[in-house]
Amino acid sequence: MRDEWTQEYVKYSNEVVKEKILEEIDSMTVSDFQNTLEDYGFDDLNDTLDNVLGECMTVLVNAIFKERTK
């Protein structure tokens, strides 16, 4: 059985690893992010993300177009 110090150290170490993974994900392009979702079998999430990004792109294109054609 692990002592309290060891348990806290393991918990801290796990958090450090998760933070590094989060930093890695944060630096990904959208394409890399979606490829990674596919690699891990999260196809449903990827489909949802495709739909949301498509809607966001349409809204943004229209907003920028409106601004530039004033």
Q: Supply the DSSP string of 28-55, one letter for each residue.
A: S-HHHHHHHHHHTT-HHHHHHHHHHHHH
Q: What six digits make up the tokens of 27? A: 């630096």
d(CA 27, CA 15): 18
pLDDT, block means (10 residues), the chain with 70 residues: 85 96 97 95 94 96 97
Domain that holds residue 27: 4-68
pTM: 0.72
Domains in the chain, number: 1
**pLDDT at residue number 1:** 56
Contact in structure between 46 and 38 (CB atoms under 8 Å): yes
**pLDDT at residue number 62:** 98
Residue with tokens 């999430």: 45
d(CA 46, CA 43): 5
